[in-house]
Amino acid sequence: MTGPAKPAIGTVPVQCCRCRHKHMESERLLHEIGDGRSARVCPRCAAHAYYEIVEQAAWCWASGRIEMGDEDDLPEGAILIARGPKAYLNGTLAVLTRQGRGASEGVYLVPGVPEAQDEQARGDALAKWLKWCAGNNGHKGRHGVTFVTPNY
């Protein structure tokens, strides 16, 4: 089994951590750092660190487990919950979700869903959480991450 296709080198949109300049990875400049080594830096401020801002989606399963990937790769049976730039989507989910313990360690979980007794309760818990998360859609601090609002 192979993973999702990765974009060609240089075609990934990135954002500088220092000056927030948005550019393509291929536009980063080659900068000598000594001992024959070099690094790619921001074309505006020469910073080394950057975020990948390629658009991604997050979805959840009936168990409450949350996964991320390209929206085109949304598995059948999964529920789309959010979209946004890769780096910010992961950070936002880390803050707004529950992290699993034990067998689920390192996994993001929708609060209230794993504990729900039946399907109706799981759906209600997911809808309540999505409504709460979507309350800040469009807020500057979300960096383009938007949550899907339930329409039932």
Instruction: Provide the Cα torsion 133, 136, 141, 143; round to 10°.
Output: 70
With contact defined as beta carbons under 8 Å apart, do 81 and 58 qualify? yes
Burial track 108-122 (b if 16+ CB lie within 10 A, e otherwise): bbbebbeebeeeeeb
Q: Please give the pLDDT value at position 9.
A: 57
Q: Is residue 6 included in any domain, yes or no? A: no
pLDDT of 118 higher than 50: yes
Range scoring the smallest mean pLDDT among 7-16, 51-60, 116-125: 7-16
- Domain total for the chain? 2
Range scoring the smallest mean pLDDT among 34-38, 39-43, 93-97: 34-38
- Confidence band of 2 (pLDDT split at 50, 70, 90): very low
My answer on whether 102 and 128 are in the same domain is yes
My answer on whether 95 and 124 are in the same domain is yes
d(CA 48, CA 69): 25
0.85 surpassed by pTM: no
d(CA 137, CA 81): 12
Q: Is residue 114 included in any domain, yes or no? A: yes
Q: Is residue 2 included in any domain, yes or no? A: no
Compute how many other C-beta atoms are within 10 angstroms of the C-beta atom of residue 146: 17
Q: Please give the pLDDT value at position 152.
A: 53
Range of the domain at 32: 13-51
Mean pLDDT of the chain: 87
Q: What is the mean pLDDT of residues 106-112?
A: 92
